[in-house]
Each structure stands twice: as C-alpha cells, then as structure tokens.
Amino acid sequence: MKALFFFRYVLARLTYLVLRLPVARFQAEVEELWGLEPNERLQRLSCILNKNQPKDAQGVAVHSLSELPDRPPMSKADLRAMSAASSTVASSFSRHTAGTTGEPTHISLSRTELAQMLAIRAYCYSKHGLKLGQREARVWGRAANSLTAKIRDFLLNRRVFYPAEDGAEETVEKLVKWSPEYLYGYTSLILEAAQIAQKKGLKPRGVKAVICTAESILPAQKKFIAEVFGAPVFEEYGSTEFDVIAFECSRGHLHLVNPWLWVEEEEDTVLITDVSRKSQSIVRYQLGDSVSLAKGDCGELGSRCSIEELRGRTAQQFAYINPEQKFHAVVFGRALNTYMEQTGDCFKFTIVQVGYSEFDLYVSETPIRGLEDLRLFLKSNLKTGLSLTDHLEIRVLVNDDGFSEGKHTYFIQKLQC
C-alpha cells in the first residue's frame, strides 16, 4: 500500500513537470519572500509592480505600492471589460468564477501564474506535513464525467466524492475505504461526510489533515470533523481569481499566504492587488467579501497579518430588526456555535430573513434537544446579546429537501429593504 501511495505521488509530481509547471522552484521563492524583513519585502513587491505596471480600473498604470490608496477600486465588471479589451500576455490556462455575485468572470493564467498558485498551496500544505500530489479526497460537487476530467484526477492523485442526496452513505463508505491522506472541500459536504461516518461507525485511517474551503466553519463543527476523521481541521480562504489567499496555521490563525498579493480593508470590503499578474491587470480588486485583518506575533505561516474574522459576502451581511436597526449576520453563527458547544450537537444550517424581525432557521436534522429548545435558545441569545426590545419571531424547521449542491450559504436576505 505504501509503495502504491508513493508511486501515485511521484506520478502527480511528474505531471507538473510534464506540463512545465515549476512548482518546487516557486515554492522556494514563496519561502524566501516570507522570510524577508517586512520593509525588504515591500521594496521587492514595489519593484515587481513597477516592472509589470498593471492598470487600474480607469486604465491608468500603477508604478508603486504607495500609489494604491489613491486608485479606484476595481469591480468584477471592470475586470471583465478590461480583459475583453486588452491584448496582454497570452494565457495557457483559464478559470471561471461561479458567478455568485453576478455574471461569471473569466480568469486568464500563464504557466508561471498557475505554477505560483500551486506553489503557494504546496507551501501551506508543507507547514502541516502534507505534500501537493499526495492522495486527496476532494469533497466537492458531482465529479465531471468527461474523459479529460477523469484523466486529470487520476494524474493528480485525487478522487471526487459528493456525499449528498441518494447514495450519500455509499459515497462516504467508498471515501473511507479509499484511505485518502487528506480531505479537501466544502465545509458543508465534509460535515455531512463526518456525520454519516459517525452514524455508520466508520473509522477513517491515515488521514493527516482536513482542509475546509469556500464556506465558513464554526469551531464546534471543526471539532466534530476532527474527532471523526482523527485529524486536524484547517480553514482555507481563497477565490477562483487568486486561489489560496489565507491559510490556517496550527495555532488557529488564518494567515495571508500569497506573497505577491497586496491586501487592503476599505469600508468593510477587501481589496486585492496582484503585483505579479501579467495576463490580467488586477488592481484593488473588490472580491466581494468582508474581512477583518489583524497583525499579530505568529510567524508560523506566511504573513504576520491574518484574517481575524471572515464575515463573507457583503451582499448577504446584515439582518434587520426594523428599517433603522440592523446587525451583522455573523451573530447567528456565533450563537449557533455556542449552542452546539453547550449541547454537543452538530448540524448544518441556513437562516433566511423573511421580514423585519422575522427569521426562518433551517437545520439539516432535528437537534438533540429538539427544535423548540433551539428556537428558544436562539431567540434568548439574540435578544440578550443585541439588547432587543422589539418583537422577534424565529421559526426552526428541518430542511427535508436537503441543502443545495455547491457552496452552502449560511444567511439569506429575502427582505426587500
């Protein structure tokens, strides 16, 4: 078994070489850049920016990092328009965003840029005893059924598992039997797989880590997944445009890890500039997420600057008590995490605002203490924590139809403000 695992790992690494993707060389460069003193790294980034001179949202070239604060933010629409009009470096690879905030966006990548992305992932994995190319269970949506996709997954030493809908139990049994060295995928689907494995009494062996991406994860959910799979759980924050942006260290900090990205907070919106991208100009790009950045003393991984709180899409941030009073929807996550920690329960959920002070909470299964216990807890927690005097109506329902395929949304705003 060990010989087979090693052979498949070597085959995956050879695939990168055949595709002329020098991952190892760029991984060394990532290590070097994060090893520099902060001022020295800033100088290096400014030199790279000045050499590439990417254009801002108005088509004006940027020459240094010091110019960035005065440049206009770039929207996804701006990026699409600029990409359609430009005749920059030809790309060898392309990606498409899922279009969750509107029209899908086409992302162009040269071999160098794709190799840099893979190198950052390899760098993050190496800090947790993993290697890019090891046996990966990708807990994702349904696997593409094309021959190209099957060959790609085989060469990259991974299998795609979709533990939802009919056949979910059989899928999880196959996942455990396949003995992956790590799991990577949507938090909601990994949580579903963990719940099925626990109920079926399955005992995963050899898992070194579980990496949750694309969706937020609560500490109580993280603890449950770690116990079931017998491995630490790490959170990744990224996007189709940049791949990995931040990665969790063993101490629980979500560090910025791409040394070629300049990340800013502005009015609750994260703005990202890629100083090394040549195939597309990406300057002060509005990713659509709201994050809170903080500097610390942890140097375990990437930057000492980390994401202290990831609040998610700006379009789905606020819940309203009345036209004048609102609160951030992250409050729901904190309250439900407290409930899970107190009861030892673990479930998926989505909260939908259907009117002022009116919310429907959908859960994946009936809580241990029942729906009414959860309803009373959440109502009390919100009224006390937010000092609410208004009427508050909360309904708790089991979502018999299951949760939608793809990214799971924790809060949906249906109120017409």
Task: Tell me the residue range of the domain where 188 lies.
Answer: 2-312
What is the spatial distance between Cα 173 and Cα 137, in angstroms, rounded to a whole number?
12
* pLDDT single digits (tens) 140-176: 876 677 888 889 999 999 999 988 767 889 999 999 9
Residue closest to 48 by CA, chosen among 70, 27, 33, 31: 33
* Cβ–Cβ < 8 Å for 61, 151: no
State the pLDDT at residue 111: 92
Q: What is the CA radius of gyration of the chain?
A: 22
Position 311 scores a pLDDT of 65
Instruction: State pLDDT tens for residues 250-290.
Output: 999 999 999 999 999 877 678 999 999 999 999 999 987 77
Same domain, 268 and 247: yes
Looking at the structure, tell me whether residues 66 and 188 fall in a common domain: yes
Domain identity same for 307 and 321: no
Q: Are residues 190 and 226 in the same domain?
A: yes
* pLDDT score, position 101: 45
What is the pTM for the complete model shown? 0.82
In this structure, the answer to whether residues 200 and 225 fall within a common structural domain is yes
| 97/168 same-domain check | yes
Higher pLDDT, 149 or 64: 64
Of 312, 329, 361, which marks where a domain is finished? 312
Q: Which residues of 270-280 are buried (b: 16+ CB within 10 A; e: fewer)?
A: bbbbbbbbbbb
Q: Does one domain contain both 7 and 84?
A: yes
Tell me the average pLDDT of the chain. Answer: 88
Q: Are residues 304 and 331 in the same domain?
A: no
Residue 47 identity (one-letter amino acid)? C
**What pLDDT does 106 receive?**
77
- Report whether 240 contacts 95 (CB < 8 A): yes
295 and 356 in a single domain? The answer is no
- Please check whether residue 262 is in contact with residue 45, taking contact to mean a CB–CB distance below 8 angstroms: yes
Q: Do 98 and 225 lie in a common domain? A: yes
The number of C-alpha atoms within 13 Å of 402 and in the hemisphere containing its C-beta is 11
Say whether both 303 and 324 belong to one domain. Answer: no
Cα separation, 181 vs 176, in Å, equals 11
Compute, in degrees rounded to 10, the torsion defined by CA atoms 209, 215, 218, 223: -20
The pLDDT score that the predictor gives to residue 91 is: 59
Residue range 93-103: average pLDDT?
A: 58
Find the mean pLDDT for residues 308-328: 73
Give the CATH number, domain containing residue 141: 3.40.50.12780
Asked if 190 and 161 count as a contact pair (C-beta separation under 8 A), the reply is: no
pLDDT tens track for 365-388: 899 999 999 999 999 999 888 888
Residues 298 and 341 in one domain: no
- Give pairs for 197-205: CB < 8 Å, separation 24+: 197/172, 197/228, 197/229, 198/228, 200/169, 200/172, 200/173, 202/172, 202/173, 202/176, 203/176, 204/176, 204/228, 204/229, 204/230, 204/231, 205/179, 205/230
Could you give the CA distance from residue 228 to residue 220 in angstroms, rounded to a whole number?
A: 13
Cβ contact 245:257 at 8 Å: yes
pLDDT score of 301 = 94
Q: Residue 414 has what pLDDT?
A: 83
Structure confidence at residue 102 (pLDDT): 46
Percent of the chain with pLDDT over 90: 60
Number of neighbours of residue 396 by Cβ within 10 angstroms: 23
Higher pLDDT, 287 or 54: 54
Non-local (6+) Cβ contacts of 230 within 8 A are 204, 205, 207
The whole-number average pLDDT for the span 120-136 is: 96
Pick the last residue of a domain from 312, 339, 367: 312
**Comparison of pLDDT for 263 and 314, the residue scoring more:** 263
Of 250, 278, 312, the one marking the end of a domain is 312
Strands across the sheet containing 285-286: 261-266, 269-274, 285-286
- Beta strands in 187-302, from DSSP E residues, in sequence order: 209-213, 233-239, 243-248, 254-256, 261-266, 269-274, 285-286, 289-295
Our count of domains for the chain comes to: 2
C-alpha 215/C-alpha 390 separation (Å) is 31
CATH code for the domain in which residue 330 is found: 3.30.300
**H or E element: which one contains 384?**
helix 371-385
What are the tens digits of pLDDT across the range 177-219?
999 999 999 888 899 899 999 999 999 999 999 999 877 888 9
